[in-house]
Amino acid sequence: MISRRELLALAAAAPLTAAAGAEDPDPHRPRYHFLPPRNWMNDPNGLVWHEGKYHLFYQYNPNAAIWGDMHWGHAESADLIHWKHLPIALAPVPGGYDKDGVFSGCCRVYDGVPTIFYTGVSPETQNIITCNGALTEFKRYAGNPVIARPPAGMDLTAFRDPCVWRDGSEYRMAIGAGLKGGNGTALLYTSTDRFHWTYRHPLASAAGRDDGEIWECPNFFPLGRQKWFLCVSSTGPIRVPFCWTGSYRDLRFSPESPRQKLDHGGYYYAPQAFEDARRRLVIFGWIPEGRTKAEQVAAGWAGVQSLPRVLGAASDGGLTIEPLPELSVLRGPQLDPKNIRGDSLEVFAEFPRKRPAALSLRGTHDGSEQTILDFAPGAATLTVDRQRASLNSGTDRDRRTVPLDLPASESLRLRVFLDRSLVEIYVNGRTCISTRIYPTRADAIGVKVLGEPTALEAWEMRSAL
C-alpha cells in the first residue's frame, strides 16, 4: 500500500498557490449542488416533470438552519442541473391536518393534473393537493385527509411519505411505516379514483431488525422491462437508504437481488426517484451537514441535494448508478493532470484493478489538511479517510472503508465531484459515496493522484445556481 508518509511528502512537494475563493464569505457553501438560499433543507419531495419544466420541492424550515416547522420549498429547472428558486409552495395550515408540518410526499401527473400526495402531521395522515400547470397554485382536496389513520389494529411507530403509482386503470400507494416492537415496512393501499384508498397488506417488509425499524420515504418504480426497484430510507441500527430489485406480482414485491446501500458515505438519506422527460429513473437524495448545530446556525444554511443520479438494471440483476450525463455542461476549463487544484472540481481517474491507488483532495501544501480516497486491490475496498480533512475538530473526521462491487476483470474507475464541503464519489457505475469535509485553510485546494492511472481528467466546475 501507499504509505501515509509518501502521500504527505507528495502533498508537501506541491507548490503553494493562491487561496481559492479567498473573497468568498462562505467557503463551505456548495456551488453546483442544489440548496436553498438560506436555512434548513432535508428530503427532496414532489419531483416531477411537467409542461417542459422539472420541479423539485423539498422539506424546508424557513425560519432557521435546523430541522423544524416543515414547509415545502420549491425550485424549477429545464435540465435538472440549473435551478431557479421559487416561492415556498406549501406551509402548515394553523388548526388543520398539517398544522405541525407538511411532511414528505410525491407528485404525479394524472389526467393532466399535477397531484401532490403527502403526509400532514400530527397525527400522521395522508393528503392530496392539486396544482395548476405551472405548479404555482396549490389546492387542498376538500376530502383531506384521504387516509386519516393507520390500518385498524396496527400499532405503528411511523406512517408517512406516500409513493403513488399507476397499475392499469387503478392507483397504488406505498406508505413508509414501522411496527411497534417490530420492523420497518411499506404498506400498500389501492384506489380506483386516487382519492379513496383501501389498505391491502405490506408491499414489502424488513426481513429483520438490520433492515430497519422504520422504513421512511419508500420509492417503488419499474426498472427496465422486467424488474421493479424498491428503495426505503431505513432507520434503526443504521440510517441509510436500502434498495432491492425484484418482481412485483399480486400487489407484492419480492426482492431478487441482495440488499444494496444506495450510498455508503453515511450522510445521503431520504432519496426520491422519478421518471424524467426521457423516461430515465432519476434519483436525488438529501446530504446533511457534518458539523455542529452551532456552526450550521452561524452559516445560515444546512443540507444539500445530491447530484441527479440515473438508476438502471445491471446485467447481474443489481443496480447501476451513474451521475446524470448532462452534468458535463457544468465543466469549465479542463485542468492539466499534473497540476489539478481547486475546491470545485470533477475528477475522473482510472487505475489498474490489481495495483494500489489513492487520490487526495483539498490538501494544503504541507498536508496538514487533506482527504484521502485509498483503494485496496486485494480487499476491493475504498477507504475514505477524513482524519485530516479539517483542522476544525468540531467537524466529522473519520475513516470509512467501503466494499466495492468490483470484478477482477474491471479496472477501477473513480468519478469524483468536489463541491467545496461536499464530495460525491462514483465507483464503476455501481457504488456511491457522499461525504462532507470542512477544510479551514485557504490553500486546501491540492489534488494528488497516487498509483499508475491509465486515465486522468479533471475540470473546474461552474456554479449552477
Separation of first and last alpha carbons in the chain? 40
> Does residue number 43 form part of the binding site for ligand FRU (CB under 6 A)?
yes
Which of the residues 24, 43, 167, 396 is marked catalytic? 43
Residue among 8, 35, 42, 327 that touches ligand FRU (CB under 6 A): 42
Contact, 362 vs 343, CB < 8 A? yes
Q: To the nearest whole angstrom, how small is the minimum distance from the Cβ of residue 95 to ligand FRU?
A: 20
236 to 176, 208, 210, 233, 240: CA distances (angstroms):
14, 11, 7, 10, 9
> Does residue number 76 form part of the binding site for ligand FRU (CB under 6 A)?
no
Instruction: Indicate the residue among 117 and 351 with the shorter CB distance to ligand FRU.
Output: 117
> Does residue number 161 form part of the binding site for ligand FRU (CB under 6 A)?
yes
**Count of positions on this chain that bind ligand FRU (CB under 6 A):** 14
Residue among 164, 217, 372, 458 that touches ligand FRU (CB under 6 A): 217
Q: To the nearest whole angstrom, how small is the minimum distance from the Cβ of residue 122 to ligand FRU?
A: 12
Instruction: Indicate the residue among 67 and 348 with the shorter CB distance to ligand FRU.
Output: 67
Could you tell me the three cell numbers for 391?
Answer: 483542522
Per-residue binding letters, 98-137, with ligand FRU (x by CB under 6 A): -----xx--------------x------------------
Long-range contacts of 198-206 (CB under 8 A, 24+ apart): 199/151, 200/251, 201/251, 201/252, 202/252, 203/174, 203/230, 203/251, 203/252, 203/253, 204/230, 204/244, 204/252, 204/253, 204/255, 206/234, 206/236
Helix/strand/coil for 13: helix
Q: To the nearest whole angstrom, how small is the minimum distance from the Cβ of residue 42 to ligand FRU?
A: 5
Instruction: Indicate the residue among 211 and 216 with the shorter CB distance to ligand FRU.
Output: 216
Asked if 161 is an active-site residue, the reply is: no
Q: To the nearest whole angstrom, how small is the minimum distance from the Cβ of residue 369 to ligand FRU?
A: 31
Instruction: Indicate the residue among 119 and 126 with the shorter CB distance to ligand FRU.
Output: 119
Residue among 211, 216, 289, 374 that touches ligand FRU (CB under 6 A): 216
Q: Which of 33, 53, 134 is nearest to 87 (CA)?
A: 134
> Does residue number 213 form part of the binding site for ligand FRU (CB under 6 A)?
no
> Does residue number 296 form part of the binding site for ligand FRU (CB under 6 A)?
no
> For cell 398544522, what's the residue?
99
Q: Which of 42, 39, 79 is nearest to 59 (CA)?
A: 42
Contact, 433 vs 384, CB < 8 A? yes
Contact, 178 vs 214, CB < 8 A? yes
Instruction: Indicate the residue among 216 and 369 with the shorter CB distance to ligand FRU.
Output: 216
Instruction: Indicate the residue among 42 and 431 with the shorter CB distance to ligand FRU.
Output: 42
Which parts of 321-340 interact with ligand FRU (CB under 6 A)? none
429 to 255, 321, 332, 415: CA distances (angstroms):
21, 5, 23, 9
Separation of alpha carbons 349 and 337, rounded Å: 10
Residue among 27, 49, 59, 319 that touches ligand FRU (CB under 6 A): 59
> For cell 406516500, what's the residue?
162
Name the β-bridge partners of 149.
none
Catalytic residues: 43
Residues that bind ligand FRU (CB under 6 A): 42-43, 59, 70, 103-104, 119, 160-161, 216-217, 233, 269-270
